[in-house]
Structures are given as structure tokens and as C-alpha cells.
Amino acid sequence: MEEKWWQRSVVYQIYPRSFQDSNGDGIGDLPGITSRLEYIRELGTDTIWLSPVYRSPNDDNGYDISDYQDIMAEFGTMADFDKMLEKAHSLGLKIVMDLVVNHSSDEHRWFVESRSSKDNPYRDYYIWREGKNGGAPNNWGSCFGGSAWQYDEKTGMYYLHLFSKKQPDLNWDNPVVRDEVFNMMDWWLQKGIDGFRMDVISLISKPDGFPDGEVGPGGYASFQLCANGPHEHEYLREMNRRVLSKYDLLTVGETAGVTLEEAKSYANLDGSELSMVFQFEHMDADFHPVLGRYAEQHKNLPRLKEILSRWQNGLEGIAWNSLYWDNHDQPRVVSRYGSEKPEYRELSAKMLATCLHMMQGTPYVYQGEELGMTNYPWTSIDEINDIESLGNYRAFHEKGLMTEAEGIEMMRHRSRDNARTPMQWDDGPEAGFTTGTPWLPVNPNHTVINAAEQRKRPDSVFHYYQKLIALRRELDVIVHGHYELLEPKHPDLFIYTRTLGDEGLLVICNFSECEQAYEIPAAYRDAEILIANYPDPAPAGKLRPWETVVYRRG
Ligand code: TEU
Ligand code: CA
């Protein structure tokens, strides 16, 4: 099969609200992004995934869309978008938009009509059900805590919202909804965008009969029981046939609850559905058995290795992997799996980057990850903006499962706001993000961790990412090589090989701040060092704290 452009791409994710403010209102915007496109090009990434910029009341910071074909007022105008798109293309950067069509905002005109009466033509654009036994139609819970059903006085019925109550789920079983979505997608593609990241696209086909599910610690059944529903692939194949197949796109499904088997359909190399998917198994590897993501778990490297290796080997030759540690929903990987200690932070950031970027699949770099940005030192629940963190904290706190102190500790490790503090451009006021008051506080460590300083320093995390990205462009063994995990049981070492014909890579990653003993396999003893995070070669038989080395033979 001939190589697709996105199989050698490295994607840069922008969360517009926190990337660059251009008018001093403390909120990132489109002109701000346009002013930073050269930086993204300099890093070497060739595609941008733009989190939503559509009109929105910002109940979930843009993932609640009230007009799919207009721009959010705080971010600018459609003219600003067109300028950004044109400049991006002139720099050789592609733009992939965030498509949020499992749900809309409750302020979308479709929903305003739908909720107005039972016989309104838009009624069946959404999912309405009669209550049961004086309560909700079933025991499904929202991702943000509480029930997934909201009672609506006007017509005395409940509507489904797997996320916030201001994000009513669209009814994908209604062919008119699919027509509306496909027409809107085509409108954006006609403007020249280069693909879509599809928000919770695995949830669009709800289970037949809307059965109750197993109740979790929050008192409801997980929204993920809607994943991979009965018509999921039928709808995606229809989308592909009617829209996607007419263009040369990167499409990535954010597929909560996806399994390896399901991914073979979603991301099939035959081009029948999407280019690739974001899976979450590796993101759940450190979850607490009761509180899930909402408690700090201990690192379990063998489990993380098993998951990532299963996806590397399971999709080989059948479907395409995405590769990510960070995004706008995840805590910063340096704080999660690396070290914030000054002497180790950059070493661990480079090690984590190497571990991911030497794998098979398309890597995603989230804004600030290329600098080794870290979580924020929250001190109070009141500082938190994220609707998901707050909703789940309140649900657990009310059930006596989490004290306020535990809540703050949880926020420090887990809140999505850790990824949403402003991009750290320089060591000046507000890290150069805004001349005003930022909507979320800038991490005080921007005086040490910022783009301006790292662009000038050859051994910075920024320049290390540049090298990794350039290697992917250059070496077929990184793009297409066979993956094999070594030392599966080792608690601190993540070691694997990639082989393609006579060429091979040995990727060694020490996920600890301890010195580790490790003997290089004979096949790589005389191999050259392709990239490493220490300036000098590793001492024979040893690995230093957070050390990573990639050996290349053939
Ligand atoms: O996230 C959907 C999703 O799967 C969430 O459960 C996500 O994994 C969780 O936030 C991680 O803690 C998408 C968007 O990425 C997220 O920002 C939105 O809040 C959500 O959908 C609703 O649109
Ligand atoms: Ca602004």
C-alpha cells in the first residue's frame, strides 16, 4: 500500500484559549495563533490539530458548539480563520479541525427548536425520553459527574447528555442529522482544511433499548457503555463514502472505550473509515481501581509497556496507530511519568519523547510538551476551571469518597487544567501569553521553562523534539519498522526494537531516577548512537537516571 502523507507526519495540537492572546483580553485567539505559525514550522511539525474555534458559550471551553459554521467571538472572526489557514498553508502546515458532533451546545438553534415542543421538526435531532419511576430514563452517568439525563420542563421529558447538560447528544440514528453533519463537514473541507479530529466519535451510536449499565463509584453507569455502538461503523463508512473519500485528509477519531479489535475497523488501512484513532488504554494504565482517573495511582510500567506493545503489534499491517502522551484533557506527562526535579526534568522529558516518537504511528505533540512543561501547583479547588474535574470532585466529595485536601491533591495530578495553563513563550510577565490577565494562571515556572530560552539553547527539550521529528521524516524504519518489546517484566526499563530489512533500532528508556544495570544485546554492541539525552555515551552495562539511548544498526 503506498504511504499516506500522514504516516510520516508529526501533529502539533493547539488549545486556542491558552496558546497566544493577541488583543490583551487574557484569552488566546486566532490572530495569536497566526503570529506563532513560524514557531510550529521551526519545531518541524507539519500538521496542526486545532481544538474547537467555533461559536460556543464555553461551558466546556468550545466543545459545546452553538454554530458549526461561525467562529467563537473571543477567538476572532472567520476572516481571522481564513488568514490563519492561508498563512499555515504558505508555510507548508496543514490544518486539522476538531469536529464535535456527538453533541452540540444547548444554545445551538437546532436544540432551541428541539426543546420547544414535541412535534417540532427538530425534535428528533436530539435524544428525548420519558422518565421512568419518577426519575431519569436509565442509570447512565455523565462524564462530568451526575446523571446523563436532564429533565426539561417545557415538554416534561428528559434529554441525553453524556457530557455537560449544556451538551445535548445529537441523534445520529436520524438520517437528517447525518445529512446536516456531512454537509457542514464538506463546507469546511471546501474552505481547504486538511482533516478532522473527531471528538468522542465512538459514542455516536447508542446501545439498542438504552439499557441500564453497571453502577460505578459515582452512583451511575459509565458513559463509555455507549462506545462502539450497533451502527458505529455503518455511520462512519457513510461519512467516509459521502464526504471523507472525496479528499486527501488526516482523520483521527477520539474513540473513548475503543478496543484493539474495534480499532482495526476504525483505523483500517483500507481507507474505509478513518486514518487513525486515539485509544485510551495507556491513559488509563495508572487509574485508581475505585476513583478511576480521579486519584493518583502509582506508575505501573510493565502494564504501560504491555498496553502500548499490544497496540504496536496488534495493528501492524492492518490499521494505523496514533501516538500521544499529552493533550488538552491529560495532565502533563513530565509530571505524570517523568520528574519535575530541576536536575531530571529535561532528561525525563527527552526520554519520554524518545519512547513515544520511536514507535510506529503518527505522533502528536501537545502545546508546551516540546518544552517539557509541567502540571500547575494548584492550592485551592476555587482555582480550577475544568467542568470535568469540578463535576467529579463534587460527586465524590458528596459521597464522602474524597476530602477537600484529597481533592486538591487530585487536581494537582489529574485535572485537565494542568494542560490548559497558558503556553510559556518567555520569562516575562504572563510568559508572553498575554498583556492582560490570563483566563487561567500562568505556571510560575515559566521563568525557567519557556520557548524563548529553549530556542537559543542547543541541548533544550525543544531542539531534542526537533531532532526526533526530523528523524521520522528521514528513516523508513521509524515509520514502517516491526516493533518488538524486550524485558517486558522490568519495572523501570522500557526497551524495544524496530526492524525493517537489515536496518534496526534499539530504543532504551529508563523510566526512573535510579541507575539501572543493562547489557546491550550483541546485535547492537557496535551500533551507532542515533539519538540520546545525555551528552556522553552510557557507561558499559549501566543506564543513568532517566537515560534514553537509541542505537541504529544496518
Ligand atoms: O473528551 C472525551 C473523553 O473521552 C473524555 O472522557 C476525556 O477522555 C476526559 O476528559 C479525560 O479525562 C472529548 C474532549 O477531548 C474533551 O475536552 C471534552 O470535554 C469532551 O470530549 C466532550 O466534548
Ligand atoms: Ca484574545
Ligand 2 centroid to 425 CA: how many Å? 16
The atom number, within ligand 1, closest to the CA of 387 reads 19
The C-alpha cell that represents 44 in the structure block: 518541524
Q: Which residues belong to the active site?
A: 199, 254
Indicate the residue type of 34: T
Instruction: Judge whether 13 and 367 are in contact, CB under 8 Å.
Output: yes
Q: Of 464, 367, 469, which is closest to residue 425 (Cα–Cα)? A: 367
Q: Any residues with CB less than 8 A from the CB of 289 and at least 6 apart, and which?
A: none
Two domains, one topology: 109-160 and 482-553 = no
pLDDT at 121 over 90: yes
pLDDT at 308 over 90: yes
Q: Name the residue at shortest CA distance from atom 17 of ligand 1.
A: 329
Return the pLDDT at 293. Answer: 83
Ligand 2 centroid to 434 CA: how many Å? 8
Share of the chain above pLDDT 70, in %: 100
- Per-residue pLDDT of 489-523, as tens digits, reads 999 999 999 999 999 999 999 999 999 999 999 99
Q: Of 304, 372, 297, which is closest to residue 332 (Cα–Cα)? A: 372
Q: Which CATH superfamily is domain 109-160 in?
A: Oligo-1,6-glucosidase; Domain 2 (3.90.400.10)
The C-alpha torsion from 194 through 29 and 88 to 98, rounded to 10°, is -10
* Domain map (residue ranges) of the chain: 109-160, 482-553
Q: Name the residue at shortest CA distance from atom 2 of ligand 1.
A: 200
Ligand nearest to the CA of 328: 1
Ligand 2 centroid to 554 CA: how many Å? 51
Mean pLDDT of 63-72: 98
Ligand 1 centroid to 199 CA: how many Å? 8
Instruction: Judge whether 199 and 102 are in contact, CB under 8 Å.
Output: yes
- Per-residue pLDDT of 344-391, as tens digits, reads 999 999 999 999 999 999 999 999 999 999 999 999 999 999 999 999
Share of the chain above pLDDT 90, in %: 94
> What residue has cell string 462524564?
143
Pocket test for ligand 1, best of 293, 329, 366, 390 (most atoms within 8 A of CB): 329
The atom number, within ligand 1, closest to the CA of 388 reads 10
- Per-residue pLDDT of 215-272, as tens digits, reads 988 899 999 999 999 999 999 999 999 999 999 999 999 999 999 999 999 999 999 9
Q: Strands 47-50 and 11-14, how do they pair?
A: parallel
> Would you place residue 404 in the very low, low, confident or very high pLDDT band (cuts 50, 70, 90)?
very high
Pocket test for ligand 1, best of 102, 162, 200, 288 (most atoms within 8 A of CB): 200
Instruction: Judge whether 391 and 294 are in contact, CB under 8 Å.
Output: no
- Per-residue pLDDT of 464-484, as tens digits, reads 999 999 999 999 999 999 999
CA of 290: how far to CAs of 215, 395, 456, in Å? Answer: 12, 13, 46
Instruction: Judge whether 451 and 422 are in contact, CB under 8 Å.
Output: no
- The 8-class DSSP code of residue 42 comes to H
Return the pLDDT at 288. Answer: 82
Return the pLDDT at 474. Answer: 97
**Beta strand ranges found along 289-419 (DSSP E):** 322-323, 362-366
* Crossing angle of helices 232-242 and 175-190, rounded to 10°: 40
Q: Name the residue at shortest CA distance from atom 16 of ligand 1.
A: 329
Q: Name the residue at shortest CA distance from atom 11 of ligand 1.
A: 329
Ligand 1 centroid to 254 CA: how many Å? 9
Ligand nearest to the CA of 20: 2
Return the pLDDT at 295. Answer: 79
CA distance 117 to 499: 62
DSSP SS3 for 399? coil
Residue-by-residue DSSP string for 349-384: HHHHHHHHHTSSSEEEEETTGGGT--------GGG-
pLDDT at 59 over 90: yes
Q: Name the residue at shortest CA distance from atom 23 of ligand 1.
A: 63
The atom number, within ligand 1, closest to the CA of 416 reads 12
Q: Which residues line ligand 1 at a C-beta cut-off of 6 Å?
A: 60, 63, 100, 143, 163, 199-200, 254, 256, 293, 328-329, 388, 416
- Per-residue pLDDT of 311-341, as tens digits, reads 999 999 999 999 999 999 999 999 999 999 9
Cα-trace Rg, the chain:
23
What b/e string do you get for 469-504 counting C-beta neighbours within 10 Å, with b at 16 or more?
A: bebbeebebbbbbebebbeeebebbbbbbbbbeeeb
Ligand nearest to the CA of 30: 2
CA angle 464, 468, 473 (to 5 degrees): 145
Instruction: Judge whether 291 and 219 are in contact, CB under 8 Å.
Output: no
Pocket test for ligand 1, best of 66, 101, 143, 225 (most atoms within 8 A of CB): 143
Indicate the residue type of 407: G
DSSP SS3 for 306? helix
> What residue has cell string 471546501?
190
Q: Of 525, 478, 523, which is closest to residue 354 (Cα–Cα)? A: 478
| Domain 482-553 class in CATH | mainly beta
Bridge partners, 321 (sequence order): 277
Q: Any residues with CB less than 8 A from the CB of 400 and at least 6 apart, and which?
A: none
Ligand 1 centroid to 521 CA: how many Å? 42
pTM value is 0.98
- The 8-class DSSP code of residue 221 comes to B
Q: Strands 493-500 and 195-198, how do they pair?
A: unpaired
Ligand 1 centroid to 330 CA: how many Å? 9
